[in-house]
Amino acid sequence: MIRPARSSQWARFAVALGVAAALCVAGCSKKKTDAEDDLSGGLGDSEFSDGSESAEDGEGGEFGSEPQRVRELASIYFEFDDATLNSEARTTLKGNSTAMLGRSEWKTITLEGHTDERGSEEYNLALGERRANSAKQYLTDLGVPASRMITVSFGEGSPAVQGHDESAWRWNRRVEFKVSRN
């Protein structure tokens, strides 16, 4: 015969076990986040769009509504705590400007400034903005109309590579380029 004291102990144990199991299941399930969806850009497994999709073809119908990465526009990278364009970044931007000037269907080019995780959130947002503005100014000097470019900063909020050392940080200090047709 089960005693009442033990019965309530077992009941509490069963409830605790049920709660723990529910938390475990909830914690283990992986829901695709908006950020992950943004990174894929609705392009399936492909990281980039070739920029040829249009809303009229039925393919890439969202291309006009959300800025997308395209192969023709390469990212540029920066040294720690710096928004100065090095020679490699300038070379990349020259190639990007040629692509931008040759693709009138790219109505808006978004320059996204990023940083590594070091520094405060406020500082990194400002640094990401300086990086994007530095790239925009150089592209403007190369003949790309400033009216076609928008700058935004993600600071440390959207790392390209996870990690807590220079091998990861060097890829996170960047400006990425995305295009939209509207």
First to last CA, the chain: 76
User: Can you read off the two tokens belonging to residue 15?
Assistant: 């409830």
Structure confidence by residue, pLDDT tens digits, 15-38? 454 544 444 444 444 443 343 344
- For the chain, give the longest Cα–Cα distance: 89
Q: Is 89 left (phi over 0), alpha (psi -120 to 50) or beta?
A: alpha
CATH of domain 34-180: 3.30.1330.60
pTM of the predicted protein model: 0.66
Contact 132, 112 (CB under 8 A): yes
Structure confidence by residue, pLDDT tens digits, 102-149? 999 999 999 999 999 999 999 999 999 999 999 999 999 999 999 999
* pLDDT, position 12: 55
